[in-house]
Each structure stands twice: as C-alpha cells, then as structure tokens.
Amino acid sequence: MSNQVKVWSNGVLAAILVGTVTIAGCSKSNESSESPTASSSPSASTVAATPKTEEPYELKMLKAQDISKPYDPSKDAVKQAVEKKLNIKIIPEMVDVQQYKTKLNLKMSSGEIPDVVRIDFADDFQKYAQQGAFADLTSLINEKDTPNILKEVPKEVFEQAKVNGKIYGIPYQGGPGSGYRWNLVLRKDFVEGMGAQVPKTLDEYYNLLKKSKAEKPDVIPLGGYTAQIGQQKYANNSFDHIFGAFGVTPGYFTEKDGKFSNYDIDPKMREALLYLQKMYAEGLIDKEFATIKEEQLRVKLYSGKLLSWMGWWSTPNDYDMQVETNELKKNGQLGADGKLADQSSQPYKYLSLTQSLVGTDGKAVAPAGAPFGQMHAISAKTKDPKKVLAIIENSLSPENQMLTVWGIEGEDYKIDNGKMRVVTDLIDPKTQQDKNGNFRGIQSYLFAPGLKGWPRYLESLPLRQSQALDVAINNKFQITDTSNYLDSPTKLAKLVELNTMRDSVFTQIIMGADIKKFDEFAEKWKSQGGTKILTELEESLKKKSGK
C-alpha cells in the first residue's frame, strides 16, 4: 500500500486509469463560433424560418487502446450515443496504450497535432505550450462563457496550470482516488468496548490511547510502518494525523506572498516531534514502527493487537474482512472453507474511519495529492479553437457528463430507487462486446476533469469503498504542496537526499534523541540545497504568473 497507483477492485472503474485520450462535446444550432456559449434572441423572421441543422463538428483525436483486447470504434454504442447527443463526429486514430506518449510526441514534433489532446502536464504540456502548439484560452475561460468548466476546475487550479501566465489547457485528473488519500482507522469494537467514542481532537485521541494502554496492555495503541521499498516517504504517513494537528505535514512546501518555506523546518514541526517523543516514551506508539513493513503491521491488526493506524483509503474493506475472519476463527464460528462472502457492499463491522484530528486551535492540515496530472489542450492549428472550447464547455453539463462518464442510462448504468448502479455484466469479457455485438467505450470519450470526482462518483463504488473515499476526499483540512507544477532543478537533484536526512533525524527524535537534532537538521536542510530550492520555486512562480 502506498501513495502511488492503486488498483481498483471495481471492474468498470479500472477503465478510469487506462491512458485514454478523450473527446466529447456539444454543439447547439444557434451557437456562434465567436463565443463558447454565445446565443442571441431570434427575430420574428428567424422564428418563421425553418431551423437550419448544423453539421456535426469533426474532432480528430489520438485514442489510446489496449490492443490485447478487441475494439472497433465504428461499433462503439457509447461513442455513437455521444456523437448523436452532442452533435459531433469523432475521428479517432487508434494507438496502443503503451505507445501513446511516444506516438503523441511524434505528432507534436511533426506539427500533426490532433484537435484536442490529453497530455501529461509535468514535461510535455509545458514544453509544447511554450512552443505555441496549443491555443491560448486565457481570455476565453471566464464565468460568463465557461461556467461549467469553472465549476469543474477552480480558478486557483487554473493558476497552477498556467504556463508563462497564460492558460493553454484544462486540468484533468480522472477521479479523486489518486494522490494522498489517508484516513485514521481505529478498531471500532475496541473503542466501544472501552465505553469511549471515536476522537475528533488530538487531546481526545491521546486520552483514548492512554485508556487503551491501561485497559488493553497487549494492544498497540498506535501502529506505524516504514515506506515501501524504493520510496522516500517518512514512515509512510504513519503520523500524519499527529503532525496535522500541529498544522504541519512532512515534506510539503508552503508559500505566502510569493515566499516559500517547507514544513520540515517549521517551528511547529519541532513541537509535533516533541509530542510524538512523549507518546513513544509512554508506550503509545509501536516500538517497531521504524523497522517493520506494512505486511507486518497487518499481522498485528488481524490478530487483534492494534487499536489505530493511518491507512490508505481503499484498504479498510479487505482489512475489516480479515479482522472478522480471525475473530470468527478464534470463536470457532468460521465456516469450513475458512472464507467470508464478499462484504464490500456492507457497512464496516470492526473498523471506524475518521478525518483529521484538530489541535487546540480547532484546525489541522492533511496532505492531499497534486490536483491534476494531465491537461486537455486544444491544438493551435484546429480550424476553430473557440468552437472546440464550446464543445468542451457543453460536454460538462451534468446531463452530458452522465453520458460521457457512465454511458447510456438503462444499459451501462441504471437508477434504482434514486441510486445509480453500474451494470457490470453487460460485456462479454472475451469479445468485449454486448449481446448485440456493440463495443461500449465507457469513459473513452469524455472531458470531465474529475478533480472533485465525476457525477455520482461515490455511488459507483461498493459501499465500503465509497465510505472510505468519502472520508478521504471530503476532509476539509486537506492542503496541496505549493511546489506542485513549479520548476526547481535543485529540488530534483537534492530532495531525495534531504528527505532521507529528515527521515533519519525525525525517527531518532521520536525515539528519544535530543530535540537539538531538529535545529541542526533545519540548518543542514537550508545549507545543503533547501535554501536554493526555495529561491528557485519563487523564481518559477513569478515566471508562471507572467511576472
């Protein structure tokens, strides 16, 4: 379990993470090509005239496809429904998903840019935007002309997506399951058994751990584990809920009035480390937190030896079942096959998930991932960039998103008693076709950014996953790293080294080392590249803002 790519258990949602470039849109018969949402009141003569049917607008695209599976866009029922509903004609050029980036770069270099491309922000988008490959949308993105787009992508996110102070594309994430999405997880049955409640503040949490230590001496109050092999993440977020209550989170850069700093050297981090040191000395933190891996933490959880830990949002479902399995086994009530039926659509029985613990000031911070990783950009060579933007704008209406994200109502999804249910047995897994011989490219032809989730997103998940992700994505204390999307050569060269030094020093302090080590670390952090990183980030922010 890590903060990297997670595997969806829901078959349909696996398509979310497939690297498909998506096109969808809407064109009204009275639209002007001069404005994305332009319309005018018809005169009497116009009303009397026979309405002129506008020809479908053609959009060329490069579509990534898993070539190991059969697919024919001409027989895609969802594609055809999107085209008819939105009055567009999609002309896809198919490319193996594994070769998509290579193929896209070849097209970009040769000037054969598709009308709209979905492209990684970090390298390719910024490079090609500065070369003039994409249409400048700065004056076209506004509350009057593109309300749907701004509803999906906040203005502050557009600020992060700017290149030299201009907007050249629309940020895209594809759903809120990526990035940091951690929850504090507790054994609910243990908490209730002690006559306690799920804590909301750091003080309440500390008192709960103290109570557990006294009443359940064989249970570890707070468990932790080290990062996965190859990652440089401090204790894999094990103490983010403690740090967060002090208003800090390891590794994140902060910015105020154009000046940058980092939480690793913040005085509040010093306070948080002293608090963790006290907890460790009192036996409230697992003595093995700095050496064990997640697998060993799970053993402690399953065997009833752990009260609480910080967990990735999607794991509690399986963990809850494992805890129940062991409880039934201990009581001799487990079935002969030793397995439980799938309980993903049932409420949690043994675990409780909660958001950030607040400090004495009633506030907290929680690490969230970068708001987007890709961009939808319009080619500067497309015949009518304003028209294409109008297509994107209209495709983001709630009704049109339901079609482009979830497919055809009554076929790809159904609404039962007001709740959406994704149909999972519509496609033959061998032929990838429905009973009528149609392919169904769900989420293949869309623009929905997904930064906040797609329409009825949580409903599409089994209950336990929905509950866990709901807690994670709706944590009001989430912050993002302000260095996201900014350039700093020194950060690329030195950050791993600085993080490794931090991890070592912080671990030593938690285990009892003199707090002076923090002060020494802060000075080394600055002198060994940190100060230069901050300067480069400030310069990059000015450049991005066009200053």
Tokens at 526, concatenated: 């600055």
Domain(s) labelled CATH 3.40.190.10 in the chain stretch across: 57-177+372-406+444-454, 182-367+479-545
**Rounded-to-integer distance, Cα 474 and Cα 464, Å:** 15
Q: pTM of the predicted model, to two decimals?
A: 0.83
Q: State whether CATH 3.40.190.10 applies to domain 57-177+372-406+444-454.
A: yes
> Are β-strands 351-354 and 253-256 bridged in parallel, bridged antiparallel, or unpaired?
unpaired
Residues recorded for the chain:
547
Degrees to nearest 5, angle at CA 500 with 250 and 279: 50
Distance, in Å, from the CA atom of 317 to the CA atom of 300, rounded to the nearest integer, reads: 17
User: Is 309 in contact with 209 (CB distance < 8 Å)?
Assistant: no
Sign of dihedral through CA atoms 314, 318, 321, 327?
negative
C-beta of residue 83 within 8 angstroms of C-beta of residue 89: yes
Give yes or no for a contact between 377 and 117, defined as CB atoms under 8 angstroms apart: yes
- Topology of domain 182-367+479-545, CATH: D-Maltodextrin-Binding Protein; domain 2 (3.40.190)
Q: Which residues pair with 93 in a beta bridge?
A: 62
DSSP E strand boundaries for 162-226: 170-172, 182-187, 220-222
366 φ/ψ angles, rounded to the nearest 5 degrees: -135, 135
Q: Which two structure tokens, joined as six digits, stand for 517?
A: 């080590």
Per-residue pLDDT of the chain (547 residues; tens, 9 = 90+): 333 333 333 333 333 333 333 333 333 333 333 434 433 344 444 344 445 678 999 999 999 999 899 999 999 999 999 999 999 999 999 999 999 999 999 999 999 999 999 999 987 999 999 999 999 999 999 999 999 999 999 999 999 999 999 999 999 998 776 666 788 999 999 999 999 999 999 999 999 999 999 999 999 999 998 865 434 444 557 999 999 999 999 999 999 999 999 999 999 999 999 999 999 999 999 999 988 888 899 999 999 999 999 988 888 778 999 999 999 988 888 888 888 888 888 999 999 999 899 999 999 999 988 899 999 999 999 999 999 999 999 999 999 999 999 999 999 999 999 999 999 999 999 999 999 999 999 999 999 999 888 999 999 888 998 999 899 888 999 999 999 999 999 999 999 899 989 988 999 999 999 999 999 999 999 999 999 999 999 999 999 888 8
